[in-house]
């Protein structure tokens, strides 16, 4: 797995929709993937999701519909995107 580059400022535990869009734009430009860290109710740590480059438009559209401008899920305010970054993810495809 390659290096991870994060746009969000260190030390904060929140991410805005605009910051998320910046991450997706950078990944499209660099032809890389995106990881998204999401809080899940009942879990002590965050869940990491990898969105492959070929699905970025579809996934960003989903995130913009399912999460508000503060990246809080519209149906459950305990689910939120707290971090995202560009990642070069390879699984031997």
Least confident among 8-12, 66-70, 74-78: 8-12
pLDDT digits (tens, 9 = 90+) for 14-27: 899 999 999 999 99
> Binning pLDDT at 50, 70 and 90, where does residue 93 land?
low
pLDDT digits (tens, 9 = 90+) for 46-72: 999 999 999 999 999 999 999 999 999
Cα torsion through 22, 51, 58, 18, rounded to 10: -20
Least confident among 10-14, 49-53, 83-87: 10-14
φ/ψ region of 43 (left if φ > 0, alpha if ψ in -120 to 50, else beta) reads beta
């Amino acid at each position: 797995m390659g290096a991870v580059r994060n746009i969000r400022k260190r030390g904060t535990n929140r991410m805005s929709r605009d910051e998320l869009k910046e991450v997706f734009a950078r990944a499209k430009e660099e032809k890389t993937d995106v990881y998204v860290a999401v809080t899940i109710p009942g879990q002590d740590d965050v869940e990491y999701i990898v969105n492959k480059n070929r699905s970025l438009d579809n996934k960003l559209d989903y995130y913009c519909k399912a999460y508000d401008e503060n990246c809080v899920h519209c149906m459950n305010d305990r689910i939120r995107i707290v971090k995202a970054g560009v990642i070069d993810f390879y699984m031997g495809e």
